[in-house]
Homo-oligomer: A and B are copies of this chain.
């Protein structure tokens, strides 16, 4: 009985996250209110609060879920994804402004003191830098063709992705996020399609 209830609760939680993602895609960060998400998933707002006590908690859960999907559900192992994936990810992000806007807005808020999303982002960046370092080392050894060590390249890779998102969100006509990211990848000295050598293509 307890297990059934827990499984049902997990399922409901997943439904809420899917609904939130839909609302975010349609209405952006500001439109993604707890009320709108509750309505979408057929819960009262009170019922939704049982799963996610605040808008920030819900959005952090959505972003965590997105990270899982974006890296193929294998965040714990560097084998789960390769550098090539990043370029595709940037291209993909250019087609989903709602979630990118939500990520960027919440990231902005999180740097203020005692913001509820701050621990998530701090943890996430430490983890992403570490994973990227591992991926780069696995592909290129202790030094990338452009001269940087994996440890030094990792924070720059993350910074470029995030920084380009802000410029693109503010002015999508003027900023080609995917092309700019490719420029950066070329600077690192990484040939086109690195990591695809033994892949499907």
Q: Which residues of A contact B (CB under 8 A)?
A: 28-31, 101, 104-113, 118, 121-122, 125-126, 129, 146-148, 152-153, 155-156, 158-164, 166-167, 169-171, 174-175, 180, 183-184, 186-188
Question: How many Å lie between the Cα of A184 and that of B155 in the bound state?
Answer: 10
The answer to whether A155 touches B170 (Cβ under 8 A) is: no
Partner of A28, one of B29, B112, B184: B112
Across the interface, name the chain B residue whose C-beta is closest to A155.
B180
The answer to whether B163 touches A161 (Cβ under 8 A) is: yes
* Copies of this chain, tallied across the complex: 2
Main secondary structure of the interface of A (DSSP, over half): helix
24 contacts between A and B (CB under 8 A): A28-B113, A29-B111, A29-B112, A104-B111, A107-B108, A108-B108, A108-B166, A109-B109, A118-B170, A121-B170, A122-B171, A129-B167, A147-B186, A148-B183, A148-B186, A148-B187, A155-B167, A158-B163, A159-B160, A159-B163, A159-B166, A162-B163, A163-B163, A187-B187
